[in-house]
Amino acid sequence: MLKKLMLIALAVSLFACPALASEKTIVFATDSTWPPMEFVDANKDIVGYAIDYMNAAAKEAGFKAEFKAVAWDGIFAGLDAGKYDAICSSVSITEDRKASMDFSTPYFRVKQAVIVPKDSTVTSLKDLVGQKVGSQISTTGTFAVKAEEGVISKTYDEVGLAVEDLFNGRIAAVVCDDPVAANYALQNDRYKGALKIAVVIEAGDVEYYGIAVKKGNKEVLDLVNKGIAAVKEKGIEKELKAKWIGQ
């Protein structure tokens, strides 16, 4: 009789908590070299705005988020090969990328910013014609540099390497997403007295970050979108912007 009662109690508890019984784990790849969006802290943990955002989205939508460090240069190939379910790594939504992967609802608006030495008189990319400008490979920062005729593009595996070369006088500027530029030029103890943001590029289409999933993976896409919608609706997004971006 006792055994029967225990089985009934277990069945009732599972029925009362369906999310507990069926919670899905979504593995997100992230190139954790892009502060304050996603980066590795002093404790070797992957942290940042996007990480907090997806953890909050997971809680709201009833899935578990796991994050896997993956280098940027292979991150899209890994998604296509099924090595993880999604990419949470400041991926700008572009028409070219939409042809080979699906994107969530946008979760952050971004612009391209130009970082230069503190004493530089540069006010636009046009002022850098004939000079080397750094950016992270295969990012929209690189696309912006290459679109400016006469500017010499120098790409790096990580944006931090480009900033270090700028700091040491090896290149004339760095182009990257504006929250990342602000982190390096205005907040990083090593660089904030030596570098500045010359200009935020306003021209071109509005740029947004989205979560990338393999083409046709509707189950993951629907869960992520559900979570993003709740994070926006409940004001959690504003709290995360205040914490990580200062806005």
pLDDT at 16 > cutoff 60: no
Distance CA 41, CA 27 (A): 20
Q: What is the pLDDT of residues 173-222, one digit of tens each?
A: 999 999 999 999 999 999 999 999 999 987 666 899 999 999 999 999 99
Burial 181-206 (b: 16+ CB within 10 A, else e): bbbbbeebeebeeebbebbebeeeee
Please tell me the predicted confidence (pLDDT) of residue 247.
Answer: 65
Beta carbons of 128 and 122 less than 8 angstroms apart: yes
- Angular region, 29: left φ>0, alpha ψ -120 to 50, beta rest: beta
Distance CA 228, CA 55 (A): 10
Q: What is the pLDDT of residues 49-94, one digit of tens each?
A: 999 999 999 999 999 999 999 999 999 999 999 999 999 999 999 9
pLDDT at 109 > cutoff 60: yes
DSSP annotation of 148 reads S
Q: Could you say which of 3.30.530.20, 3.40.190.10, 3.10.129.10, 3.40.50.620 is the CATH number of the domain covering 2-109+208-244?
A: 3.40.190.10
Average pLDDT of the segment spanning 16-32: 76
Amino acid present at 31: D
Average pLDDT of the segment spanning 103-113: 96
Q: Would you kindly state where each structural domain of the chain is located, as residue ranges?
A: 2-109+208-244, 112-201
Is the fold of 2-109+208-244 the same as that of 112-201?
yes
Distance CA 158, CA 147 (A): 20
> Which are the contacts of 237, defined by CB distance < 8 A and separation ≥ 6?
53, 107, 231
Please tell me the predicted confidence (pLDDT) of residue 2.
Answer: 42
Please tell me the predicted confidence (pLDDT) of residue 20.
Answer: 45
pTM: 0.84
pLDDT tier for residue 104 given thresholds of 50, 70 and 90: very high
CATH number 3.50.50.60 is the correct assignment for the domain at 112-201: no
What are the percentages of helix, strand and coil residues in the chain, rounded to 5?
40, 30, 30
